[in-house]
Chains A and B, each alone.
Chain A
Amino acid sequence: MTILLAVIAAVLCGCGTYLILQRQLSRIVIGVGLISHGAVVLLIGSGGGRGDPVFVGRELRSFNDPLPQALALTAIVITFGVTAFLLALAYRSWTITNDDDVEDDLEDRFVARGHRRGGDIVPAGDLLSEDYEVER
């Protein structure tokens, strides 16, 4: 049983990782969801093998460990909330750019484009302004 849980967790995390490495925001959100499911399954698995439900079985020894279940429940609630926020953010990104892709960091591009000219590094900001074009 525990091996099965471990395999399920591994598959979920693997698929999630593949999806997170994509460029579409919707896939990234689904990937994040899959990985957190994998983590929750792993948490459940950390409690050991099968046992009776707590407070129901008569033998104290046959109880399943309730703590990982409580931890998993907390984790599920938290991931649910954050995933909802992530979806809202992805929707906002879609309404702004009309596109589902992850945007480039423009500032990074500017810094990368700043280059050497006559021994001086041309500051990236100058590439933006028109007077640089005139000087050139």
Chain B
Amino acid sequence: MTTLVALPILLPLIAAALSIACGWNRNLQRLIGVATLAAVTVISIVLLVHVDDVGIEVVQAGGWPAPVGITLVADRFAVIMLVVAAIMLLAVLVYAIGQPGAEQDHVVFHPTYLVLASGVAAAFLTGDLFNLFVAFEVMLTASYVLITLGGRAEQVRAGMTYVVISLLASTLFLIALAFIYAATGTVNMADLGVRLAEIPSGLRSALALLLIIVFGIKAALFPLYFWLPDSYPTAPTPVTAVFAGLLTKVGVYAIIRTQTLLFPAETRPGTLLLVVAAVTMVIGVLGAIAQDDVKRILSFHIISQIGYMIMGLGLFTLAGIAGAIFYIMHHIVVKTTLFLVAGLIELRSGSGRLANISGLAHTAPWLAVLFLIPALSLAGIPPFSGFVAKLALVQAGLDAGQYVVVGISLAVSLLTLFSMTKIWANAFWGHPRVATEPALAPITAPTAAPIGGARLMMAVTGVLVALSIGIAVAAGPLYRLSERAAADLIDTRRYTESVLNP
């Protein structure tokens, strides 16, 4: 079982190397990519079952004991995230193979995508703050390449902002690490949980705030979100979908992990996080209402939704964190699906601009269904998964007596519904219109043909829609799983014990 923990990181890295070597044959690259991510998905599910059953699984790389060696920890929260991430990465890769564009035009797509997968897995599994930095860098470096794939003018402009902001956040992370190491003499997270409790509380709060800022930039929290709606929409659709689903959520994961594990219960910045969460929700949704492009509307919704997850964390109760974990599961699936639908809309009408699309409900009724279900789910309409996730958060908020933030979150749900109806009314209703703008021609000539085309893209999107309905159907067991994961996060003794005294 212990070797399984390292495989989600190692397999994609090895496959990436193989994929570079097979650059002359796109079909071989496709086979390697899909097979690897399918294997990672299976391994993650096995790990989830095992960890939920037996308990936390720890790997000390090279056999060096905990505070010295490189520690990988698979607890429930990490493995839940790993499973959802692996399924999304696999689905989006299959979608990319069907979509004419990035995957066919560039040899580097497959290797970079696999490196991204490895970085995401490493960020979830690491038990060491410095390795979290390295995992972030692996993931981000791959994302820099993916977001500028094609090198069109607006991609370069957006990519520049994205790279500079991410690099700045990473540097701040390094500075935080230097402070933490100077104060405690360790970077192992379990060890830090013990030692940070011993340092003066003012210093501890400063370190906690610094970490919130670092991960807040990556997660696009208010007021650190400006880069996101600017840079995400310019990338190729599959890339945007996977970024929207996963990258910001890795930031949220890091916030939840560090705030629960590293800092003792009595000094947690709950009120600060709740205020930030409320403002993030409102600003995100207001930004979405003002936009006119499907991908930009959806990008602003990412920001708004991040607020809900942070709200769950800010309550610092069992129900709150369980709600946040459940919300992340639902959100990753739904958000990725919506971006894939946006890609299909662009493919059909040649543009993502609402003013240029009309009457898709007549010409593509199935596309309308595929959009409607995740859109209603995002807004939190019963009986979809978003409703269950929001219900869990609202209930947790009411139990904790945080009525203001609960009220704001409900109002934001209404506004989310409003902006979804805006897309619906503009793009799907009305008279069908002939495409006005031709799809953007790639700079380099395609070196391979897509397999399956629009049919495969529709099929993948359909599977993800079914998955989001599945989350709603299996809400009971999944919520109880989130609750068990949250219990581990609140009572950190088991985590610390299994890392330090195996």
Q: Which A positions have Cβ atoms within 8 angstroms of B?
A: 13, 20, 25, 28, 32, 35-36, 38-40, 42-43, 45-48, 65, 67-68, 71, 74-75, 78-79, 81-83, 85-86, 89-90, 92-93, 96-97, 102-103, 105-108, 110-111, 114, 123-126, 128-129
Contacts and interface: CB of A to CB of B under 8 A. Distances in A.
Contact of B144 (A82, A106, A108): A82
Contact of B168 (A20, A68, A92): A20
Interface in B123-170: 130, 133-134, 137, 140-141, 144-145, 148, 151, 153-154, 156-161, 163-164, 167-168, 170
A83 B170 CA distance: 12
Interface in B288-342: 290-293, 296
B179 interface: yes
Contact of B148 (A89, A103, A107, A129): A89
B292 A114 contact: yes
Contacts of B78: none
B292 A124 contact: yes
A40 B174 contact: yes
Given A35-B171, A81-B141, A107-B233, 8 more contacts: A28-B164, A38-B175, A39-B174, A42-B175, A67-B187, A71-B130, A92-B148, A105-B230
A104 B172 CA distance: 26
A96 to B, nearest CB: 5
A9 to B, nearest CB: 8
Contacts of A105: 157-158, 230
A93 B156 contact: yes
A36 B174 contact: yes
B181 A67 contact: yes
Given A105-B157, A125-B292, A43 B163 contact: no
Contacts of B293: 107, 125
Contacts of B187: 67, 71
Contacts of A85: 141, 144-145, 163
A124 B177 CA distance: 44
A89 B181 contact: no
B137 A89 contact: no
B178 A86 contact: no
Interface residues of B, number: 46
Given A108-B230, A123-B354, A123-B355, A102 B181 contact: no
Given A32-B168, A39-B174, A75-B174, A106 B134 contact: no
A89 B156 contact: yes
Contacts of A43: 174, 177-178, 181
Contacts of B161: 102
A96 B174 contact: no
B353 A125 contact: yes
A20 B170 CA distance: 15
A111 B144 contact: no
Nearest to B162: A89
A78 B137 contact: yes
Query: Which are the 3 A-B pairs with shortest beta-carbon distances?
Result: A125-B355, A46-B182, A39-B174
B498 interface: no
Interface in B85-106: none
Given A46-B181, A68-B181, A75-B174, A97 B355 contact: no
B181 to A, nearest CB: 4
B356 interface: yes
Given A35-B168, A43-B181, A105-B157, A129 B355 contact: yes
A68 to B, nearest CB: 6
